[in-house]
Structure 1
Amino acid sequence: MTLKDYELDIIRSALGREPSRAEFMIFEAEWSEHCSYKSSRRWLRELPTESSHVVRGPGLDAPLIKVGDVFVSFKIESHNHPSAVDPYDGAATGVGGIVRDILTTGLRPIALLNNLHFGNPSDNHSLWIARNVVRGISDYGNRIGVPVVGGEVWFDESFSRNPIVLVTCVGVGTEEQVVWGEAGPGDVVLVIGNDTGRDGMLGSAFASKTLGETDEISAVQVGNPLLEKLLIDAITELAQRRLVKVVKDVGGGGLATALSELASQFNLGIRVYLDRVRLRDKLSPEEILASESQERMVVVIDPKRLDDVKSLLEGYGIGYDIIGELTGNGRFEAFYKGEKIVDLPVKLITNAPETNYEYSEPTWLRGLWEIPPLPQVPFKDALGRVLASPNVASKEPIYTLYDHEVGVRTVIKPGQAGAAVLRLLEEDGGDGKLGIAIKADANPRYSFLDPYVGTANSLAKAYRNVVSVGGRPIAAADSINVGNPEVPDRYWYFVMSVKGLAWMSRSLKIPIVGGKVSFYNEDSITNTVIKPVVTVVVLGVLNDVGKSVGGGLKGGGSLIVIGLTDNELGGSEYLYRVHGLVRGQPPRPRPEEELRNAEAVLRLIEYGLVDSCMDVGLGGLATTLLKMSAIGGAGFSADLAKIPGSAIDPVTVAFSESNARYIIETRDTDKVVSILREMGVPHAVIGSSEGSSARFLWRGDELAELGLGEVLRDYSSLWGVF
């Protein structure tokens, strides 16, 4: 049991008696860190959540954003602990769970993204986890017919036994499809979908403690993607026909959490009969409440529409159980074979006491901020090492395992640009021109060295990714993954991450409409704590997807760098890959420059003046140019000495990861330069896209030349790993 002694005292005092076994099970689920956010709620209130686009922000299973006449929902979830124990099923059920979160809105899921963090691929255990996580995502996503359109993969030894597995889902639809959520006493409660089994037993409690040697495989759910596909079709039809009043996923905490949160949402009570729940294993009533078997959803129905709902579900071949009704007494009442085994105030269940731990900056951290003198490395060798880094190299060996083309919405595919672009169809409420761009980013190295700055940079990077394809950012969601909150320096990482996110989201005027916090990401076997992973998903809108821009060089154009390059090698891929160092201060966030430079890029794309564009991030300017060359198949010549900023030597200019920068390719150089000057945006024409090699110059003298074959070889270094 993960409940603390003082929490047990609160429960006993509030009830005036000893809880039953089933009641203990409910509190164990709902008061877990995973479900209650008891250690994070206080800080998450600092995040801005409102804007003109936000119809519904954080608080329920998924938010609602309005884009023109289209409603969009997007949400990110973690499935870290399950993926550490059973990577295939842990990752697969992470996909299933996030899809069902979107289904609670009534909208149709149209796209998935994944952000994966693994140990060094040369480590056999890490590679076993990585390959099976990718296979789990692939098998589940492909079978439900929702394309995986983007993501990131990061490798670091701190994730060797504790991978971070994050999945984002996007859903779209018309106002008529939205399940707004309304309920009253007498409404009927159904559980639809899968039978209830022994898998995933108290998974929420399992995710709320440190991994160890005795982790139970039974805490990991087992997915059924074919049933999930039926649920997608059935739920969206129930919503379209206005047959359902509320939809809720049965996720972390199982029925114990889903039913209590449902009643609490409407300030009602709920009465259920657990012996009406279909079982595939012999379970006690406590186990029925705690099981987290997948592909199950709770729906609330007007009793007058019950026959219509039953007929629709039977037509899809989906099982259902009529387990009870909502009441007006504010209590959670559960019966089993005629005996009342649960009788609790709903608000007591859903209001776990906040736990605010002590936090303090690690005493050793600032000692890492100084970068020692670095030995000289041949420039060409440095280029190859950084481009071939698993963190930089093409993730094509992974995303080709996913179905990223199912449907007709995908405009920009994985690996072709900084963000995915999706067309909104007439059935979505769009016109075929309206579209959305979406990208999720994190940099655990930055967040390790400075969580405030690192998190701000994660939002800024995802923001630039969306801008680089022509999308105007309008909303974001986050996933914060750190260690044990009971240890002051690890809780400090969480607190400072939230503060950094709050500052940057306000500065960029981007509301945070949802998120997930995952604590206890460490293991007791190796005593390893992960580097903090703060992933930020940014959603943008395009008025005309036909004007969206990819990242591959087309050839025959000028190369223009937008933004200032300063001496900011701290936390860089260059330092780690070339010198084996995780040191220095991460690049400073520049919100004012981000806004100004993004506006310039969006204007240039709107005017049709940009042939290709990529924001500058991991690996710096030189690496970004090489990636654009590899993606597009065109060579280039670039003089790094022309790049504006305070960096004065070739290595710093090439590999600094300063923020607020873009590289654009254009055939309309004079027009682009004129607009950038008019807007007061720092920029420089540094060369041209041409030839069959990548040439780097410094004041006209050659620093290095790589043939396109060499560029592709280094950029393709992950082939053979997956």
Structure 2
Amino acid sequence: MGLTSDEVKAIINALGRNPTKAEWLVFEAEWSEHCSYKSSKAWIRQLPSKSPLVVRGPGLDAPIIRVNNVAITFKIESHNHPSAVDPYDGAATGVGGIVRDILTTGLRPIALLDNLHLGDLNNQRSLWLSRNIVKGISDYGNRIGVPVVGGETWFDESFNNNPIVLVTCVGVGDFNRVVWGEGKVGDLVLVIGNDTGRDGMLGSSFASRELGNNDDVGSVQVGNPLLEKLLIDALIELNEKGLVKAIKDVGGGGLATALSELAHQLGLGIEVDLTNIRLRDELEPEEILISESQERMVIVVDPNMLSEVEAVLRKFELGFDLVGRLTGDGRFTAYYRGVRLIDLPLNLITSPPEPIRNYTEPDYLMKLSKIPPLPNVKFNEALVKVVSSPNIASKEVIYTQYDHEVGVRTVIKPGRAGATVLRLLEDDGGGGKLGIAIKADSNPRYSYLNPFTGAANSLAKAYRNVASVGAKPIAAVDSINVGNPEKPDRYWYFVKSVEGLTWMGNSLGIPFVGGKVSFYNEDSVTGASIKPVVAVAVLGIISDYTKVVEGGLTGGWLVVIGETEPELGGSEFLHVVHGLVAGDPPKPKPLDEKKRAGLIMRLINDGLTRSVMDVGVGGLAVTLIKMAVMGNVGFTVDLSKAPLTQGLSDPVTVAFSETNARYVIETSNLREAVGIISASGVPYGVLGESRGRMVQFKLGSLELASISVDDLININNSLRGVL
């Protein structure tokens, strides 16, 4: 039943009897990796999670951050196994689930981001998965009225059969209207929204094992976005009227976990009658308990307010079931047609044993630690190959399928800068121009070669993205996706990733307010595991969103901030041009990241930048080309003007090194901008100017490459017609 022999013994010993069938299913759901985090709790507790702005950190469905009178919440979730079996419904219900996590706070969901890690598009199954994943996200997000405003897409053959589908949601509202979650003995428990069917049976258990040839599509939930839209509006109105005391999403594990976790969080007990649950299929009582049918929420209400609650739900034509009440006995008790099916202590349900797992570095990494001698390559040929790589190419073909403007909050739209910027229309108590920036990043190649460095760099990259639009990074959420934790070399990737995030978070002063761990992302038939995905979404605050800048060139001087080092390990250049995944990824630079992000924010706030982008995958050359394509403006730059570490002169390395803590700014006030940069002590170089319709790279008087902006746009659109 998905439980180990030791877990079975622990349950029987604790109860002093054999559980009923329904009770076994409660334990299977709640003690799964997906719900319990039993193999990861001990490690993720190390992550920094506190700051003056964090009112509620990790541990519940969604955190709370306070800025002036505005409450902000954001959460990241994975839906990997479902998307591998049924990509359309798997990805769509990933959107629905993360939105409902946000709704548990009583705040309104205002934005979605999707981080997709897809396989080789020349592989027909991978292409089918990719197209349907994008369509599932598009259809669900567009229909619920929550814009998909950003994200990232990464392609690698290790995701051919095991795509990693991550969705982040942001919610905002009046801090005084946050639903903190409270209740007392006698309060009523309702299940609202969808009726219960056969879809998603024990999806939490399905997500807590390796994929195989016999995986059942019935483990995947089927979404109803139009019903979710009604659920959003109804919960917001219930909260505005003060009619709801606690809200819980019915997600992984179904009612088995939702009801038990809710009562445990309230420090109470719960008694329910499953006979009262509305069904759309003929189900056994145990199936009612573990169904993961979507668009359902559990709410707690005062008995004296029940008629008003029912009136709101009927207004939105939402079904609801009065299933039980809160008790003071600390137990989960459930009946069906007068028969008691469950009588369990909540402390036992929610406290699975935490296994001590061994971990060891994989042997193969030693062979990959050094980059072999590389043959010479022409600069212009390397440039075209890197720019046309799927990981570098424009993702316009994806994000144009999403409605990113519904809600009229989007200040910087997808594809226009390193991060998305949203205005907060609520009264923020500070002048009304408060905005937020958000971006999520990962680099599976870095994490494969060095998980500590890869995780640290994921945070650093998202941190730079947010700073590059003029926002101050204030919080992060993470999603760690690896293979089978029972295998020491797979579990090693998880442990080192957490250590990297912990170190970088402490160094940057960024709290992790939530996250997700997804294990078993591998094929039980072939034994193939994914490259580890450590995605980090960073939230930033902008005091005046009218001052933010985009990334497209407009015409001005180009200045690179930060020195370039010979760091081609794990680079896109090495992979695309030489077919290698080797070397050590760029070393993290937390002190430099903090100092240079502060400098960028000052330059933007002082109005001294026309455009800004951080340097990331593909290096300095790709950053400049992205800026040219965004702005439809060319440039002439001299790579010898970039600040370089001693002895570095190879133009290919200068162009494609992925050294951290660097930015490119465009300014029309070079003298004043350079004066501020010089005074900061940060290395910089004036590369040249942006103008015209040609892109030129030079090394002193030597021309390295010259290509028209129009040709670059065509090269950069290599995914068009594919996805």
Distance in structure 2 (CA, Å) of the matches to 1:485 and 1:551: 40
For residue 476 of structure 1, what is the aligned residue in structure 2? 476
* Residue 559 (str. 1) matches residue 582 (str. 2): no
Distance in structure 2 (CA, Å) of the matches to 1:702 and 1:565: 20
For residue 35 of structure 1, what is the aligned residue in structure 2? 35
Tell me, what secondary structure is at the counterpart of 2:516?
strand
Cα deviation, 1:653-673, whole Å, max 9, x if unaligned, reads 000000000000000101011
* 1:624 alignment partner AA: T
Distance in structure 2 (CA, Å) of the matches to 1:632 and 1:569: 28
For residue 235 of structure 1, what is the aligned residue in structure 2? 235
Distance in structure 1 (CA, Å) of the matches to 2:673 and 2:682: 11
State percent identity of aligned pairs. Answer: 65
Q: Is the 8 A contact 2:34 2:205 kept in 1?
A: yes
* Cα deviation, residue 431, structure 1: 4.9
* 1:588 alignment partner AA: K
* Residue 595 (str. 1) matches residue 591 (str. 2): no
* Residue 582 (str. 1) matches residue 610 (str. 2): no
For residue 617 of structure 2, what is the aligned residue in structure 1? 618
* Cα deviation, residue 181, structure 1: 1.2
* Cα deviation, residue 375, structure 1: 1.1
Counting only pairs closer than 5 Å after superposition, residues 275-674 of structure 1 correspond to structure 2 as: 275-426=275-426, 431-555=431-555, 557-646=556-645, 647-674=648-675
Q: Is the 8 A contact 1:452 1:496 kept in 2?
A: yes
Distance in structure 2 (CA, Å) of the matches to 1:67 and 1:354: 36
TM-score normalised to the size of structure 2?
0.99
Distance in structure 2 (CA, Å) of the matches to 1:629 and 1:440: 23
* 1:463 alignment partner AA: Y
Distance in structure 1 (CA, Å) of the matches to 2:460 and 2:228: 35
* Cα deviation, residue 266, structure 1: 1.7
* Cα deviation, residue 432, structure 1: 4.2
Distance in structure 2 (CA, Å) of the matches to 1:135 and 1:428: 35
Distance in structure 2 (CA, Å) of the matches to 1:240 and 1:445: 46
Q: Is the 8 A contact 2:479 2:517 kept in 1?
A: yes
Tell me, what secondary structure is at the counterpart of 1:523?
coil
* Residue 44 (str. 1) matches residue 44 (str. 2): yes
* Cα deviation, residue 614, structure 1: 0.3
Between stretches 140-149 and 168-177, larger displacement belongs to: 168-177
* Cα deviation, residue 213, structure 1: 0.6
Tell me, what secondary structure is at the counterpart of 2:287?
helix
* Residue 274 (str. 1) matches residue 274 (str. 2): yes
Tell me, what secondary structure is at the counterpart of 2:540?
strand
Distance in structure 1 (CA, Å) of the matches to 2:368 and 2:362: 11
Residue segments in structure 2 that go unaligned for 5+ positions in a row: none
* 2:304 alignment partner AA: K
Cα deviation, 1:17-55, whole Å, max 9, x if unaligned, reads 000000000000000000000000000011010001101
* Cα deviation, residue 430, structure 1: 7.2
Cα deviation, 1:252-272, whole Å, max 9, x if unaligned, reads 000000000011112211000
Distance in structure 2 (CA, Å) of the matches to 1:156 and 1:430: 45
Q: Is the 8 A contact 1:70 1:430 kept in 2?
A: no
TM-score normalised to the size of structure 1?
0.99
Tell me, what secondary structure is at the counterpart of 2:183?
coil
Distance in structure 2 (CA, Å) of the matches to 1:431 and 1:16: 62
* Cα deviation, residue 59, structure 1: 0.6
Distance in structure 1 (CA, Å) of the matches to 2:428 and 2:21: 47
Distance in structure 1 (CA, Å) of the matches to 2:388 and 2:294: 39
RMSD: 0.8
Q: Is the 8 A contact 1:147 1:405 kept in 2?
A: yes
* 2:605 alignment partner AA: E
Q: Is the 8 A contact 2:66 2:175 kept in 1?
A: no
Distance in structure 2 (CA, Å) of the matches to 1:669 and 1:328: 69
Distance in structure 2 (CA, Å) of the matches to 1:434 and 1:116: 29
Q: Is the 8 A contact 1:568 1:657 kept in 2?
A: yes
Cα deviation, 1:151-172, whole Å, max 9, x if unaligned, reads 0000000000000000000000
Tell me, what secondary structure is at the counterpart of 1:233?
helix
Tell me, what secondary structure is at the counterpart of 1:528?
coil
* 1:326 alignment partner AA: L
* Cα deviation, residue 427, structure 1: 5.9
Between stretches 143-152 and 176-185, larger displacement belongs to: 176-185
Distance in structure 2 (CA, Å) of the matches to 1:355 and 1:396: 44
* 1:104 alignment partner AA: T
Q: Is the 8 A contact 1:177 1:236 kept in 2?
A: no
For residue 222 of structure 2, what is the aligned residue in structure 1? 222
Q: Is the 8 A contact 1:554 1:632 kept in 2?
A: yes
Cα deviation, 1:649-690, whole Å, max 9, x if unaligned, reads 101100000000000000010101100111111111110101
Distance in structure 1 (CA, Å) of the matches to 2:380 and 2:68: 48
Distance in structure 2 (CA, Å) of the matches to 1:240 and 1:701: 66
Distance in structure 2 (CA, Å) of the matches to 1:347 and 1:402: 43
Tell me, what secondary structure is at the counterpart of 1:534?
strand
* Cα deviation, residue 176, structure 1: 2.9
Q: Is the 8 A contact 1:174 1:429 kept in 2?
A: no
* Residue 146 (str. 1) matches residue 152 (str. 2): no
Count of aligned positions = 721
Between stretches 22-31 and 522-531, larger displacement belongs to: 522-531
Distance in structure 2 (CA, Å) of the matches to 1:2 and 1:582: 36
Distance in structure 1 (CA, Å) of the matches to 2:312 and 2:356: 47
For residue 718 of structure 2, what is the aligned residue in structure 1? 717
Tell me, what secondary structure is at the counterpart of 2:38?
coil
Cα deviation, 1:348-370, whole Å, max 9, x if unaligned, reads 00001101210011122122011
Distance in structure 2 (CA, Å) of the matches to 1:297 and 1:669: 56
Q: Is the 8 A contact 2:67 2:428 kept in 1?
A: no
Distance in structure 2 (CA, Å) of the matches to 1:313 and 1:703: 66
Tell me, what secondary structure is at the counterpart of 1:129?
helix
